[in-house]
Amino acid sequence: MTARRNFKNQVRARAARTGESYTSALRHLRPEALAPEPRNVALAVAQTRVRTDPGDAEALRESGREVRALMRGAGRGGARIVHFPEGALCFPDKRVMSADAPGTVGPADWDRCRWAVLQEELTAVAALARELRLWTVIPSVHRLTGPNRPHNSLYVISDRGEVVTRYDERLLSRTKGSYMYEPGSSPVTFDVDGMRFGCLLGMEIHYPELFAEYERLDVDCVLFSTSGTLGNTAAQAQGHAAVNSYWVGLAVPARQSAATPSGIAGPDGDWLARCAEDGSPSVAVAVLDNGSEAAAEAVTYARPWRREVRAGLYAERRVTDPRSGDRTAAF
C-alpha cells in the first residue's frame, strides 16, 4: 500500500511539474499501464419545472420554451450534450389521467393527451439541437399503437436534430405499470465523441443490476432522469458512480433542488457540478475527462480489477482447511 501511495505521488508530482493530465503522466512513468485513450466531452444536466396535465396545450408549450431556453444556456456553457429530467415536457399525473372519477387512480385515458402539441414541441427541441450542434436527451411519453399504452421514454436527439435512439423505462413503479405505461425491454447506449452513454429513467435508480448491466456494456456515463424517487437519490447516484467507476448524470425537477439538485457525479463518486438549489430551472456543466486523476484511478485500476475478481480470480485459490470450514473456530 505504501509503494502504491508513493507511486501515485510521483505521478501527481510529474503532472504538476509538466502540466500534463494525471493519465498522461501515468503513461510516462508506467507505459504498460492500462490507461484509456484520452477522451472528454462536456455534459450539461438540467432541472426544470414539471407540469402534470398533457391535455393542457399551453402548459406543454411553456415547458417546451423552458427546455429550449435551458438548451441555449447549456450551449453557452460549452456543453456537447444536455440531459433533462423526467417530466421536462410533461409528467402526466395519475389522477389527472385516470379514466375513473376525477381525482381517483385508475387506468389512464391517453385520449386526453394533446399529442399533436407534444410532437410540435419535440420537433422544435430537435430543430434547436441541430442549430446548437447539441446532443439532447429528453424524456417524453412515446405513443404506441392502440390499444397499447405508451412507453415512458428518453429520446436521444443527435447534434443533427435526429432521434438516434430511445430508451423506454423497464422497471416501472406499481402505478405506472398498473395504469399508465407499457414497460420497455432493453438497455440503450449511444456514443458522443468517443464517450459511451447509457440511459435509465423513473425509479430505476433503485435497481443496482441495471447500473451493473451498463458497466458490462462499457459505458462511460449513465444518464438517469427522474421526477422524484424514495430515499436519498443523490447518495444513490454517487454510489452507483463509485461502484461502477463511471460518471452518472442525475436530472431531477427544479422543485426538488433544495434537497437534491441535478448534478454530475464522477467515477469516484464525488460531485463535479450541481444545479442551483433555489428551486429555479437551471443547468450545470462538467467535462467528463478520463484523463483526470479521479477518473484515471477509477477507470484504469478499479474497474478492470473488479471485472477480474468477478470473473473468478479467486475461485481456484479457495483452500480446504478445517480452520477455514469451522465458522466457530476462534483465534
> What does the H/E/C string look like for 141-159?
EECCCCCCCCEEEEEEECC
Closest to 204 in 3D by CA, of 220, 222, 221: 222
Angstrom distance (rounded) from CA 200 to CA 212: 12
Closest to 280 in 3D by CA, of 46, 43, 42, 45: 46
Residue 15 confidence (pLDDT): 73
**Looking at residues 44-65, what average pLDDT do you find?**
97
Angstrom distance (rounded) from CA 157 to CA 65: 17
**Looking at residues 187-213, what average pLDDT do you find?**
97
Angstrom distance (rounded) from CA 321 to CA 319: 6
pLDDT at 8 over 90: no
Question: Coil, strand or helix: which one is 223?
Answer: strand
Residue 79 confidence (pLDDT): 98
Angstrom distance (rounded) from CA 31 to CA 19: 18
Residue 162 confidence (pLDDT): 98
pLDDT band at 11; cut points 50, 70, 90: confident
pLDDT at 74 over 70: yes
Residue 113 confidence (pLDDT): 96
Residue 225 confidence (pLDDT): 98
Angstrom distance (rounded) from CA 175 to CA 281: 27
CB 156 within 8 A of CB 190: yes
Angstrom distance (rounded) from CA 311 to CA 194: 26
pLDDT band at 215; cut points 50, 70, 90: very high
- The pLDDT tens digits of the residues spanning 227-285 come to 988 889 999 999 999 999 999 999 999 999 999 999 999 999 999 999 999 999 999 99
Residue 25 confidence (pLDDT): 66
- The pLDDT tens digits of the residues spanning 140-163 come to 999 999 899 999 999 999 999 999
Residues in the chain: 331
Beta strands in 162-234 (DSSP E): 163-168, 189-192, 195-201, 221-225
- The pLDDT tens digits of the residues spanning 297-317 come to 888 888 888 988 988 889 888
Angstrom distance (rounded) from CA 324 to CA 6: 35
**10: exposed, middle or buried (C-beta count within 10 Å: 0-12, 13-18, 19+)?**
middle
- The pLDDT tens digits of the residues spanning 26-43 come to 655 554 445 556 689 999
CB 197 within 8 A of CB 227: no
Cell of 63: 415547458
- The pLDDT tens digits of the residues spanning 205-214 come to 999 999 999 9
Residue 24 confidence (pLDDT): 58
Q: What is the mean pLDDT of the chain?
A: 91
Residue 308 confidence (pLDDT): 87
Residue 120 confidence (pLDDT): 98
- The pLDDT tens digits of the residues spanning 276-287 come to 999 999 999 999
What are the b/e assignments for 214-229, b being 16+ CB within 10 Å?
bbeeebbbbbbbbbbb
pLDDT at 23 over 80: no
User: Which amino acid is it at 235?
Assistant: A
Residue 31 confidence (pLDDT): 45
CB 295 within 8 A of CB 269: no
